[in-house]
Structure 1
Amino acid sequence: MNRRTALLGAGGTVAIVASGAAGFALWSGASKDSWKEAIKTIRDPIEPGLTGQDAIHELVRYATLAANSHNTQAWRFELAPATITLLPDLTRATPTVDPDDHHLFASLGAAAENMVQGAPLLGLSAVPRFDADGDGRIVLALSPGAVMATPMAEAIPKRQCTRSLYDGQPIPAANLEAMAAAARNDGVDLLLLTERSAIDAVGALIIQGNTIQMGDRAYIDELKQWLRFSYAEAVSSADGLFSHTSGNPVLPGPIGRLLFDVVATAASENTKYLAQIASSSGLAIFVSTQNDRAHWIAAGRAYQRFALQTTVLGIKHAFLNQAVEVPKVRQRLAEHLGLGQRRPDLIVRFGYAEDMPSSMRRPLADVIV
């Protein structure tokens, strides 16, 4: 009975798609051009020689290119002559998948690190300070410095979470060491797993977490709020998870949401993630020494440096955080890794693959307050 219902649902959806295919093709063509132009503008490299407010705005643009959960971009920026203050935007929190705002503050750390790395491109130095007693803001003190174009700074507009199959080829030892060195940070350890048995053991916990999440109606409802299925939706919202960036079809929003309810099951998602894990060269697990906002931010900064270094080396990466997002599975992961009371913060797979389409970012006018 269940299989028959699924087939009937799929057939009905195909009929809907087919009936509107011609109109959608014409409509999506113009929207695709707008999306491509928006992506180019968002990810243009910083122009050398900028000063004053122009330079500060470009540094904020680079900050917004940091990784962030569900691409919610839960940040705001206050500008002053010698500081940029990075604030959490709790109106964009995801309380089901991230009830303690761990990922949100890790994302703030990643954005702060992009400014630290990008500032020398503009002849600036940016030194971040976390306000532990306040609302979780990060204040970056700006001062003049040498103009310097480092490989990691130049990787900022190129970095992406590549949600595709990798080729499974091993990473040279020298590259693994460079990735680990980039991530080193007081208060955060990095575990690099490259042995297949170790990868598969953690992979089994990722699948456990994903199964629980896909069976949670609240999780699904929250996720769907951030899904974007068409070029027009991606451009108009300038946030969220656009289907095209993970290799899924571009469809009108209503049809995409209908299809998602039919095909996005625990079984189908588990099959996808198992294939992604099997194709990966390794897993990187970031572990904080303490479970507080300051260390979540530190984990985000460590991840961002790792991500920029992998980009420099031509290595792709993507998050597989299900095992750290479900508390009881996170505890099993900590026990499996022998972490004691320490919290595993982030899980990232890595390997070699081609670029995927990049994700959108909101205009600076929407994030500068």
Structure 2
Amino acid sequence: MPSRRDFISASLGSLGTLAGLASCSTAPRPDDYEQCVERTWRHGGGVSGNPTALQHELVRYASLAPSSHNTQCWKFHLEDHAISILPDFSRRCPAVDPDDHHLFVSLGCAAENLTQAALANGLKGHASFDAAAGRGVRVTMEPTRPFPSTLFQAIPERQSTRGEYDGQPVSPQELQLLERAGTGSGVELILLTERQAMERVLEYVVQGNTAQMNDPAFVDELKRWIRFSGDEAVRMGDGLYAASSGNPALPPWLGRLLFDVFFTPKSENDKYAKHVRSSTGIAIFVSDTPGPARWVEVGRCYARFALQSAALGIRNAMLNQPVEVATLRPQFAAFLGIGARRPDLVVRFGRGPKMPPSLRRPVAAVLV
């Protein structure tokens, strides 16, 4: 999913001098990316009494939701008292997400952000899966008392943080808040905090990662969504910005060259081992029935989990290899003891430093 791949091993640091020299003449001014971050990751205002402006602001909040590879695989249709979130199949990722599971999870994430933002602006949102209208999510809204919830306040702070955490435990009260936020209709949240269980999950992550890294279609697809430099990230407004994974920003030509050299199963598996072992715990979202309607609900649950995490100062990032590799998924389900139910998302969490944020396309680009 919901996005999550680093592309260069820690050994890339030895090429820092080369990266710095190469980027001096081609990278944008440092404030270009930073200014775009400030415009993107913020709370808005000044739309009271202007219904059209308010709808655009709600779409902006919705587009700050997580999506697989940060593809932003959604389109928004504005109606009187409603906003529909439609799948943008031109942004699907067939190699990593052949059944569009992550795509519909992403729509659910956007729907949750939208309903939280609507409530803060005096509108109660009712989200429902609409199979008849492009298999999207329709959010109808009715006036209510404005309530800027804790989850709404955390929207600009939420991030998929692809780095090492501090490994320290979180309190039982915080775990209860995370579990409550991440549970929904037909969706269970399993929280693993014991080291032995986390090591077992790591074994499945390594198996899945190795299988994906040996799939040229997966590697090519991932590479297409990486934005190696700040100006490329700003120009495209989507994808996985290299610096967001703790890697140096590079001119695209150099980034692609080093990707081919350093993106290996061993380097990635070593990195995931460090990530898991520095995490406080692992959250696994499990749905009771397959299909887009339930996957949307999984997305809403994950969005609440991620926003609650951000509100508590807890980071999170995806470890979805055990659920993305179809042949591995039943074995992972057996390890979890969930029977025939599907494990949908695997998420590590813990406290750690914030990384440079990813960017988003403008509202006008996602309206239909």
What TM-score range do you get, normalising by the shorter chain? over 0.9
- d(CA) in 2 for partners of 1:23 and 1:268? 24
Q: CA offsets, 1:170-229, max 9 Å, x none?
A: 110010001101112111000000010111111110110000000111100111110110
Structure 2 counterpart of 1:149 = 148
Kept in 2, the 8 Å contact 1:168–1:278? The answer is yes
Gaps of 5+ in 2: 1-10
Kept in 2, the 8 Å contact 1:48–1:122? The answer is no
- d(CA) in 1 for partners of 2:218 and 2:61? 30
Q: CA offsets, 1:118-137, max 9 Å, x none?
A: 11221111111111345211
Amino acid of the structure 1 residue aligned with 2:39: T
Structure 1 counterpart of 2:70 = 71
Structure 2 counterpart of 1:93 = 92
Amino acid of the structure 2 residue aligned with 1:77: F
- d(CA) in 2 for partners of 1:21 and 1:321? 33
- d(CA) in 2 for partners of 1:47 and 1:215? 48
- d(CA) in 1 for partners of 2:26 and 2:260? 24
Secondary structure in 2 aligned to 1:157? helix
Secondary structure in 2 aligned to 1:310? helix
1:342-353 paired onto structure 2 within 5 Å = 342-353=341-352
Gaps of 5+ in 1: 1-9
Specify the structure having the higher radius of gyration (Cα).
1
Structure 1 counterpart of 2:80 = 81
- d(CA) in 2 for partners of 1:40 and 1:133? 38
- d(CA) in 1 for partners of 2:46 and 2:332? 45
| TM-score normalised by the chain length of structure 1 | 0.93
Bigger helix fraction: 1
Coordinate RMSD, CA, aligned:
1.8
Structure 1 counterpart of 2:367 = 368
1:247-258 paired onto structure 2 within 5 Å = 247-258=246-257
- d(CA) in 2 for partners of 1:261 and 1:242? 17
Amino acid of the structure 2 residue aligned with 1:317: N
Secondary structure in 1 aligned to 2:156? coil
When the two structures are aligned, how many residues end up with a matched partner?
356
Structure 2 counterpart of 1:272 = 271
Structure 2 counterpart of 1:292 = 291
Runs of 4+ in 1 over 6 A off after TM superposition: none
- d(CA) in 2 for partners of 1:151 and 1:238? 27
- d(CA) in 2 for partners of 1:230 and 1:23? 11
Kept in 2, the 8 Å contact 1:214–1:265? The answer is yes
Kept in 1, the 8 Å contact 2:26–2:251? The answer is no
Kept in 1, the 8 Å contact 2:65–2:110? The answer is yes
Q: CA offsets, 1:286-314, max 9 Å, x none?
A: 00000111110110000000111111111
- With over 3 angstroms needed to count, the CA separation of the structure-2 counterparts of 1:277 and 1:46, relative to structure 1, is same
Structure 2 counterpart of 1:42 = 40
Kept in 2, the 8 Å contact 1:46–1:121? The answer is no
Secondary structure in 2 aligned to 1:328? coil
Structure 2 counterpart of 1:324 = 323
1:1-369 paired onto structure 2 within 5 Å = 18=18, 22=21, 24-30=23-29, 32-47=30-45, 50=48, 51-369=50-368
- In percent, how many aligned pairs have the same letter? 46
Q: CA offsets, 1:86-137, max 9 Å, x none?
A: 0000000000100000000000000000011111221111111111345211
| TM-score normalised by the chain length of structure 2 | 0.93
- d(CA) in 2 for partners of 1:96 and 1:358? 25
